């Protein structure tokens, strides 16, 4: 059959909680190797691994022009997840390498984590926990979700999921922003469409749900953070690089903002100065890491690999619009 075809699985963990994707490869006599470094690969590490493989089932590692030049057999990049900022789509297009992804699979888990972070920061749960471990006893005042103004920037799959969850928390005032006004949102939710500047200024919580593009990289800098309320909260479960991390550290070090929750970083694993800020909640890019959503991501990405290697049509192929974003440098 297709015994000579080989798949490199770079994202880890993989098949740890659900063996279905590995069973799928094995039942189709497809050889595979799982990332032997057991961490997010650097460009040079990936370049050294990729040469003999027909398909990469990829995480967030950078699949650059240089990496693709080293991958003489590569014909499909199957992304486990939604973000495409790590893949040079234009180089892939030039080399006739297909790219697919799993945009729906991670959304429920990321949306839930986002709301969990809102609750945690509003009640200073993270700070109380760290202080209790140090033997300190302090009862923090906080706010309820129904009593605050929440600004959501980016109303795609995850942003909509957050809105759905917020319906269960009374009637918070919600400001939203996206590249265009969406009628389905107006029909379903009680929201006010606002500029980013209005959201920064008026929100108690600002939650980001954007792709990383040329337009959104370092979108939130020191002046934007300082325009927020002194006791406001900012949450990023979308992509590292959207908030300027150095500016966030400087602003929080000064005492501005009551909290931040950051799940994604410009460089991962993260080892930067935000670790010094007790009221800054840091998590290890775990937004999609619920057992069910992670399994769905892995299975869908593997299904694409099997379809490709067995001559079937891809179902999760990246749209032309995503290529156009990179083409225009947005």
285 a catalytic residue: yes
Quote the pLDDT of residue 328: 86
Per the residue annotation, which of 198, 268, 307, 317 is the catalytic one?
268
In the predicted model, residues of the chain with pLDDT beneath 70 are 1-4, 330
Decide: residue 176, CB within 10 A, 0-12 exposed, 13-18 middle, 19+ buried.
buried
Query: Is 47 tagged catalytic?
Result: no
Which residue of the set 285, 296, 304, 322 is catalytic?
285
Domains and CATH numbers, the chain: 6-105+290-327 (3.40.50.720), 107-282 (3.40.50.720)
Nearest to 80 by CA among 162, 8, 170: 8
- Give residue 171's pLDDT: 83
Q: In what order do the strands lie in the sheet with 280-282?
A: 192-193, 173-177, 149-153, 205-208, 233-236, 259-262, 280-282
Query: What pLDDT is stored for residue 329 in this prediction?
Result: 81
The CA distance from 254 to 225, in Å, is 12
pTM over 0.75: yes
Q: Residue ranges of the alpha helices (H) in 167-244?
A: 183-188, 196-202, 222-226
Closest CA to 281 of 302, 260, 250: 260
Q: Give the pLDDT of residue 2.
A: 42
Catalytic residue among 209, 239, 294, 296: 239
Task: Based on the residue annotation, tell me whether 324 is a catalytic residue of this protein.
Answer: no
The span from the CA of 235 to the CA of 239, in Å, is: 11
Residue 281, SS3?
strand
């Amino acid at each position: 059959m297709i015994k000579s075809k080989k798949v490199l699985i770079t994202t880890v963990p993989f098949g740890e909680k659900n063996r279905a994707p590995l069973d799928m490869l094995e039942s189709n006599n497809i050889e595979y190797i799982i990332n032997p470094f057991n961490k997010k690969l650097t460009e040079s590490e990936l370049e050294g691994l990729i040469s003999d493989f027909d398909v990469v089932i990829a995480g967030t590692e950078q699949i650059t022009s240089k990496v693709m030049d080293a991958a003489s057999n590569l014909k499909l990049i199957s992304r486990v997840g939604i973000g495409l900022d790590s893949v040079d789509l234009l180089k892939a297009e030039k080399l006739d390498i297909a790219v697919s992804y799993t945009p729906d699979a991670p959304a429920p888990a990321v949306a839930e984590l986002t709301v969990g972070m809102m609750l945690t920061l509003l009640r200073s749960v993270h700070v109380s926990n760290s202080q209790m471990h140090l033997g300190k006893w302090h009862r923090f005042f906080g706010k309820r979700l129904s009593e605050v103004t929440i600004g959501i920037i980016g109303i795609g799959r995850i942003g909509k999921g957050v809105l759905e969850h917020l319906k269960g928390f009374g009637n918070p005032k919600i400001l939203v922003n996206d590249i265009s006004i969406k009628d389905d949102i107006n029909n379903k939710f009680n929201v006010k469409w606002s500029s980013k500047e209005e959201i920064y200024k008026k929100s108690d919580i600002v939650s980001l749900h954007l792709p990383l593009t040329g337009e959104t990289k370092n979108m939130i800098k020191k002046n934007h953070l300082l325009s927020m309320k002194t006791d406001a909260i900012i949450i990023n479960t979308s992509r590292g690089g959207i908030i300027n991390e150095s500016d966030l550290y400087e602003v929080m070090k000064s005492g501005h903002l009551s909290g931040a929750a950051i799940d994604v970083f410009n460089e991962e694993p993260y080892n930067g100065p935000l670790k010094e800020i007790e009221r800054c909640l840091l998590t290890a890019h775990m937004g999609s890491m619920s057992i069910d959503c992670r399994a769905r991501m892995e299975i869908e990405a593997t299904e694409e690999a099997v379809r490709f290697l067995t001559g079937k049509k891809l179902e999760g192929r990246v749209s032309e619009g995503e290529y156009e974003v990179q083409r225009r440098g947005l």
